[in-house]
């Protein structure tokens, strides 16, 4: 579960938290483009390092670290797979280059995770739903989105209660062959699903009772307004993008291996 901690909103106050989700989203997209643009290790390491001060400003160091720790498994997998495929099919002068390229791919993965994590850690689902609304996504979807998030902890707790209740009736969840294990989850899944359906009916009743559908033009108690800080952030992201494009087009980026061998 530690990976998911890195993607769950953390409710503190920081300059990054205050930035409009739409501005942050642009940042994530820019980072994505740049990360895909470069194949070389050095720029990707730079990208990785650039984000670290942002993580510190956002006061989400602990969760972010947990995410990085959790993604080591996949990172290693990517690293190894790259090495293997390059060894057999690659075209590199020496093994050092293979390692460098594989490291680069690993860092690309980590950079992407890093930026997503920063986004989700500093954007409340409420604000996210609101920004979706304001860019024109139909309200029904935004509502479904935020309501789903609202109920995740509730459902998780309920699942645990159901597991406890069935264990108290002698249900064993460990041991036994594969088929038996799957069968043993039926007494857990059925109440979970039935209760989820019951719950959504109750929710629907409550929604209707609070005038759902009364007006085509829904108003909102909150509104997201882009301010100076947000435009500045977008500007910086775009500058980073332009700079990277320039470098990519005009600068020949050395391999770390080359530098080390010198």
Partner 1 sequence: MAIIEAKGLTYTYPFAEKPAFKNIDLKIEKGEFILLTGPSGCGKTTLCRCLNGLIPHFYGGKLEGELTVAGLKTTEHAIYEIARHVGLVFQNPENQLFALTVEKDVAFGLENLGVPRDEIRRRVDWALKITGIYELRDRAPFELSGGQQQRVAIASVLAMQPEIIVLDEPTSSLDPLSAKNILDVIHRLNKDLGITIILVEHRLDLASRYANRVIVMRDGQIVLDGEPRKVFLQRETKLIGVGIPKVVRLYLSLKENGVGLSKVPLSPEEASQLIAEALTFDRG
Partner 2 sequence: MIEVEDVYFTYPNGVEALRGVSLKIADGEFVAIMGQNGAGKTTLVKHFNGLLKPTKGRVLIDGVDTREVSVAKLSRKVGLVFQNPDHQLFSETVEEEISFALRNFGFNEKIIRERVNWALNLLDLVQYRRTSPFMLSGGERKRVALASVLAWDPKIIILDEPTIGQDSRQKERLRQFIIQMNQQGKTVIIVTHDIEFVVECEPRVILMANGKIIADGETREVLTDPDLVSRSSLILPEITQVFMNLNDLGFPREVIDVYEAKRLILERLNGGIKK
Give the binding site for partner 1 (CB under 8 A): 124-126, 143, 146-147, 149-150, 153-154, 199, 202-215, 217-223
Degrees to nearest 5, angle at CA 114 with 48 and 109? 75
Q: Which of 29, 33, 194, 235 binds partner 2 (CB under 8 A)?
A: 194
- Residue 228 phi, psi dihedral angles, 5° rounding: -55, -45
In the complex, what is the shortest distance from the CB of residue 166 to partner 2, in angstroms, rounded to a whole number? 7
How near is the Cβ of 188 to partner 2 at its closest, in Å? 8
90 binds, among partner 1, partner 2, none (CB under 5 to 8 A by kind): none
- H/E stretch holding 28 reads helix 21-37
- CB-side neighbour CA atoms (13 Å) of 167: 9
Region binding partner 2 by CB under 8 A among candidate stretches 64-72, 73-81, 98-106, 186-194: 186-194
- Residue 27 beta carbon to partner 1: minimum distance, rounded to whole angstroms: 23
By beta-carbon proximity to partner 2, the closer residue of 50 and 162 is 162
Binding pattern to partner 2, positions 116-135, x when CB under 8 A? --------------------
3-state secondary structure of 7: coil
Q: Provide, rounded to whole angstroms, the least separation between the CB of residue 157 and partner 2.
A: 11
- Residue nearer to partner 2 on the CB measure, 173 or 253: 173
Q: Which stretches of the chain bind partner 2, using CB under 8 A?
A: 158, 161-162, 164-172, 186-187, 190-191, 194-195, 198
């Amino acid at each position: 579960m530690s990976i998911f901690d890195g993607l769950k909103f953390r409710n503190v106050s920081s300059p990054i938290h205050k930035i409009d989700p739409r501005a942050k989203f642009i940042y994530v997209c820019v980072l994505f483009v740049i990360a895909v643009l470069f194949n070389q290790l050095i720029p990707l390491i730079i990208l990785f390092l650039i984000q670290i001060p942002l993580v510190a400003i956002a006061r989400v160091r602990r969760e972010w670290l947990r995410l990085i720790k959790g993604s080591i498994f996949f990172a290693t997998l990517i690293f190894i797979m790259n090495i293997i495929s390059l060894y057999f099919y690659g075209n590199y002068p020496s093994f050092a280059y293979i390692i460098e390229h594989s490291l680069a791919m690993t860092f690309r993965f980590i950079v992407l995770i890093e930026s997503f994590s920063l986004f989700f850690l500093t954007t409340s689902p409420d604000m996210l739903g609101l920004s979706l609304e304001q860019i024109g996504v139909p309200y029904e979807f935004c509502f479904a989105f935020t309501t789903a998030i609202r109920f995740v902890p509730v459902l998780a707790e309920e699942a645990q209660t159901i597991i406890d209740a069935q264990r108290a009736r002698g249900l064993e969840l460990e041991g036994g062959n594969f088929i038996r294990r799957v069968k043993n989850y039926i007494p857990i899944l059925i109440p979970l699903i039935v209760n989820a359906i019951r719950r959504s009916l109750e929710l629907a009743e409550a929604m209707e009772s609070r005038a759902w559908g009364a007006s085509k033009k829904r108003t909102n108690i909150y509104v997201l307004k882009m301010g100076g800080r947000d435009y500045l952030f977008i500007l910086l992201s775009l500058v980073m993008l332009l700079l990277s494009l320039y470098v990519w087009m005009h600068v020949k980026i050395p391999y770390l291996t080359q530098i080390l061998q010198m």
